[in-house]
A = this chain, B = another copy of it.
Amino acid sequence: MKSKTSAVKSLLTEEPGAGRNTRIQAQNRSKLVDAATVVFAQFGYSGATIEKIAREASMSKNNLLYYFKSKEELYLTVLQGIMVRWLAPLEDLQEDMDPVAEISAYIDAKFKFSRMQPLSSKVWANEIISGARIIRPLLETQLRDILERKTTVIKAWQDEGKIGEIHPQHFMFLIWAVSQTYADFSSQIDAVTGKGLKDKDFYADAVENAKRVLLYGVIPRS
């Protein structure tokens, strides 16, 4: 967890490595990334052990280390993958359609991510809560840029009167918070309701409620 700079570099630059392209390679690496996601989500970076991950992947510890030279490299790879999927929906947010449709779609996409990949969401959350030691550089550049572009979309809507006097940036934070909470804080929600996003009705309610509140608020309209 030391060399931040190099860590980041390898995050951005997909290193081709010395012939890492066999089918079995790809298979095992992906199996390990999945297993790692499970373990990192549950135990955090420090709490996760190489052995737990290997066991989760039904692989030997040494074999894991054959594919990923270090715990950190594996962690990096996991984060890399998450980042891509985390950012993707945001890119799709366009000015084209009307705000309700667009924002709805974005909320849908974020919720879908939370529903389909709650563990990835947790790994991401963990990384950020812990200070984003690894991915901060990326947040400061890539995420910042995208966000800036997207807030102009919202401002444009505001100029057209299609959207109220909210803070575009803060509004984005709300969407993130709201959609991710169901993945990240699932154990709390589950403890309190006995349900989770796996439950179809619960999922539908959650999404609908989120959209309704964020779009129209709780206070009824005249």
Interface residues of A (CB under 8 A from B): 41-47, 99-100, 103, 122, 125-126, 128-132, 136, 139-140, 143-144, 147, 161-167, 169-171, 173-174, 176-178, 180-182, 184-185, 187-189, 191-193, 205-206, 208-210, 212-222
Contact = CB atoms under 8 A, between A and B. Distances in A.
A166 to B, nearest CB: 5
A164 B218 contact: yes
A139 to B, nearest CB: 4
7 contacts: A42-B130, A44-B46, A126-B129, A129-B185, A147-B192, A170-B209, A177-B177
A126 B191 contact: no
Given A173-B181, A174-B210, A164 B217 contact: yes
